[in-house]
Structure 1
Amino acid sequence: MDLITLTGEPWADYGLIDSGHGRKLERYGRFRFIRPEPQAMWAPASAQWDAHAEFLPGSDEEGGGRWVFDQPVPRDGWPLSWREVRFTAQNTPFRHLGFFPDMAPVWDWMRGQIDGIDQAECMNLFGYTGVGTLALSAKGARMTHVDASKKSVAEAKENAALSGMTDRPVRWMIDDAAKFVAREVRRERRYDGIILDPPKWGRGPNGEVWKLEEGLPALVADCRKLLDEKSRFLFLTVYAVRMSALAIGELVRQHFADLGGVVEAGELAVREEARGLQLPTAIFARWRRD
C-alpha cells in the first residue's frame, strides 16, 4: 500500500507560522500561540517568537501542563471561520484550541465525496466541537454527531448557531461511540459516509473505558456494517504515535475488501508558512467509492 500525505494549507484564520526544537508557533485569528510539538525535530526559521501565550507541558508524557499568558486573550474564546463554518477557538486545558486545523483537507475531501447526493446521511464519531459535522452539513448532509462529552456537544451546538445552521438536520448524541455504533448496526441503519477520530484513551458518559489499540478493530468492523454499495467514504484518523499508517490501512482494507472501492493510508500534515515544510500531525486510513 502506497502512503500519501494530506497537507493542510494556511487560511485566513489559521496558519502554522514556524516550528522547530520541539515547538510550533501558530496563529488563530489575531492571536498567536506556542505549543509543544515533538515531531518538529528541526531548527526553527526564527530564533525569536512573539506569542500571546505558550502551553508548557507537564512532566507526565500522557498529559498535564498549563497555559502561560504574556498578552491578553479572551478566556471565553473568539470566533474563527473555515469556508461557511463559524466556530469558537479557545485555550483548553488539553493544549488544544477547540478544533484541529490539520483536518481542513479532510473536510474538503469528504465534501467532495458526497457531491451529487441529495441529503447524504453521514456520521461524525468522536465529533468534538463539531467543525467537521458542520462542514458536511453545509453541503446538505444529514448528520449524526456523536461524542461522549456533554461539554463538547454543547460547544458543537453553539458552533452550529454561530454558523447559522441551527435548523440543519443534525442528531446531537452524547454517547459512547462504540456502543452507539453497535446499536446502529442492530437497527440496520446505513450511512453514506463516516468520519471517526478516536482518542488514544477516553471514557464514555457512563464510565465506559476506551483504549485505542483494543477498541479500534471492532469499531471499524461495525462501521463497515453501516456502509453499503451506495456509500461513499470512511475516514479514520489516529493521533497515537505508536501506531502506523500501514497498520490502520490494512485494518480498513481487510474489513472493506468485500465492498470494492479504494483504500488509502498516509499522514496528515500542516504546511509551515515560514519555509513551506510539512509538519506531520497524525496518520489516517480512508475508504472511498471508485
Structure 2
Amino acid sequence: MAQLVVEPRLMVGEGWDAYRLLDSGHGRKWEQFGDYRFIRPEPQAMWTPRIADWPAHSEFTPGSDEDGGGRWSDAPELPRDGWELAWDDVRFTAQPTPFRHLQFFPDMAPVWRWMRERLAGVEEAETLNLFGYTGVGSLALSDCGKVVHVDASKKSVAQARENAKLSDMDDRPIRWLIDDASKFAAREVRRERRYDGIILDPPKFGRGPNGETWRLEADLPGLLADCRRLLDEQSRFLFLTVYAVRMSSLALAGLMRELFADLPGQVEHGELAVREEGQDGRLLPTALFARWSQDGEGVNQ
C-alpha cells in the first residue's frame, strides 16, 4: 500500500541562465527571462521588496476579475515573435501571453529533473503529459523514451511542435495531441494502456477543443482515478501540480493515497517555490503539488 508522507515537501527552483527571480514584494515579482525583465502580479509576495527600483521591459496589470484578464504594458523592445531560452538540452520560445505568463513555467524546472530521475534505468519508458501546454516538460521527458503530449489548445500544441524543432528534437517519439485531457485519459483506460509516468498540470478552469468544461474541484477526482488505472506496479510516478486555488496539498495527497492504496511506493505533497537572486534569497511559493512514486521494485524513493 502506498504510504502517505504527512510532512510537506518543498521543491525549490533556482535561477539559471534563462530565468531569474530578481526580487518580489508588495504583491508583485520582478523576473528576468533571458535578456528581458518583467514585472508580474504575485499575491503571495506579501513582504517588502529588497530593491527600490524595478526597471522592466513590460509589466502585466491584472483586470478587475480575479479569475483572469489584464494586459501587458507596451514593450517595443521585445522581439515580436519571442526569443529563445533553454533548460538543460531543451530550447523553447518565450513571449508574453494574455494569461500573464511567458509560454513556460520556470518553477517546474525541479519537477522536470525529478521526473527524469524517477525514469532512470527504465528501458523505453512511456510517459503521459496531460495539459502539456507548450511542451517543455514533454521535451524533457522525451530524453527517457516515448511521450504522449495532450493539450486542448491548438495554438499551444503548435508552439510545442515548434519548440521541438528549435531543440532539434522533432524526431523524438512524441505524439502531439489536441484533445480534452479527461476524455483522452478515459479512452486510454478503455484501451487498457499503461504508462511509466504521468504528469498533470491542470488549470483551475478550462475548456476542451469541443467546448468541454473543466473545473478543478469537480473534475480532478475522476481524472486522477483514470490516471491511476493507467499505472501499475512497475510504473514510476504521477506528479500533480495545482495553481491559484484555495486548497491544501494535504487534501490532494489524501485523494491520491486513496486512489493508489493498492500500489507500493509513497505519496508526498507540498509546495513548489522559486528562490530569489542574491544572498539569503527568499522563497516565493508558486504552486501546490502531490506526487506518487516508486522505483521499479516497489522500493520507496
TM-score bucket (shorter structure): over 0.9
Considering Cα pairs closer than 8 Å and 6+ residues apart, tell me whether 1 or 2 has the greater RCO. Answer: 2
Cα distance, 1:210 vs. partner? 0.4
SS at match of 2:255: helix
CA-CA distance at 1:76 after TM superposition: 1.1
Query: What is the alpha-carbon distance in structure 2 between the residues aligned to residue 118 and residue 202 of structure 1?
Result: 35
TM-fit CA distance, 1:272: 0.5
Q: For 1:58, which of 41, 56, 63 is the aligned residue?
A: 63
Q: Cα offset for 1:260?
A: 1.3
Match of 1:103 in 2: 108
Matches within 5 A, 1:61-76: 61-69=66-74, 72-76=77-81
2:129 equivalent to 1:129: no
Deviation by residue 1:58-105 (Cα, 9 ceiling, x = unmatched) = 111111110003551112100000000000000101101000000000
Asked whether the 8 Å contact 1:53–1:71 carries over to 2, the reply is: no
d(CA) in 2 for partners of 1:70, 1:90: 11
| Corresponding letter in the other structure for 1:110 | M
**Alpha-carbon distance between aligned partners in 2 of 1:17 and 1:156, rounded to the nearest angstrom:** 27
Code of the residue aligned with 1:52 in structure 2: it is H
**1:51, 1:70 within 8 Å by CA — same for their partners in 2?**
no
Q: Which residue pairs with 1:247 in the alignment?
A: 251
Same amino acid, percent of matched pairs? 69
CA distance in 2, matches of 1:3, 1:174: 34
Q: Which amino acid aligns with 1:53?
A: S
How big is each residue's C-alpha offset from its partner over 1:207-264, in whole Å with a ceiling of 9 and x where there is no partner?
0000000000000000000000000000000003301101001111110111010100
Contact 1:229 1:259 in 2 (8 A): yes
SS of match in other structure, 2:247: coil
Choose the corresponding residue for 1:282, options 280, 287, 290: 287
1:175 is aligned to 179
Paired residue type of 1:135: A
Structure 1: distance between partners of 2:24 and 2:244: 20
Match of 2:20 in 1: 15
Map residues 31-50 of structure 1 onto 2, 5 A cutoff.
31-50=36-55
Of stretches 37-46 and 67-76 in structure 1, the one that deviates more from structure 2 is 67-76
Whole-angstrom CA distance in 1 between matches of 2:55 and 2:146? 42
User: Which amino acid in structure 2 is aligned with residue 131 of structure 1?
Assistant: V
Give the SS at the match of 1:56: strand
- What's the counterpart of residue 209 of structure 1? 213
Distance of 1:2 and 1:16 partners within structure 2: 27
Q: State how far apart, in whole Å, the 1-side matches of 2:264 and 2:237 are.
A: 12
Q: Does the aligned pair in 2 maintain the 1:249–1:264 contact within 8 Å?
A: yes
Q: Is it true that 1:114 corresponds to 2:119 in the alignment?
A: yes
Question: Does residue 28 in structure 1 map to residue 33 in structure 2?
Answer: yes
What is the TM-score when the length of structure 2 is the normalising length?
0.95
Consecutive unaligned residues of structure 2, counting only runs of 5 or more, are 1-5, 295-299
Q: In the alignment, is residue 187 of structure 1 matched against residue 169 of structure 2?
A: no
Q: Note if 1:259 corresponds to 2:259.
A: no
Deviation readout 1:174-204 (Å, 9 max, x if unpaired): 0000000000000000000000000000000
Which amino acid is 2:274 matched to? V
SS at match of 2:157: helix
Runs of 4+ in 1 over 6 A off after TM superposition: none
For 1:151, the equivalent position in structure 2 comes to 155
Partners of 1:256 and 1:121 in 2: CA distance: 19
2-side partners of 1:187 and 1:229: how far apart?
Answer: 18
TM-score (norm 1): 0.98
Match of residue 6 from structure 1: 11
Letter in 2 for 1:73: L
Instruction: Report whether the alignment pairs 1:238 with 2:210.
Output: no
Contact 2:241 2:287 in 1 (8 A): yes
Q: CA–CA distance in 2 between the matches of 1:78 and 1:130?
A: 16
Q: Shift of the alpha carbon at 1:166? A: 0.7
Query: In 2, are the aligned partners of 1:195 and 1:235 still within 8 Å (CA)?
Result: yes
Match of 1:161 in 2: 165
Give the Cα–Cα distance (whole angstroms) in 1 for the partners of residues 247 and 226 of structure 2. 21
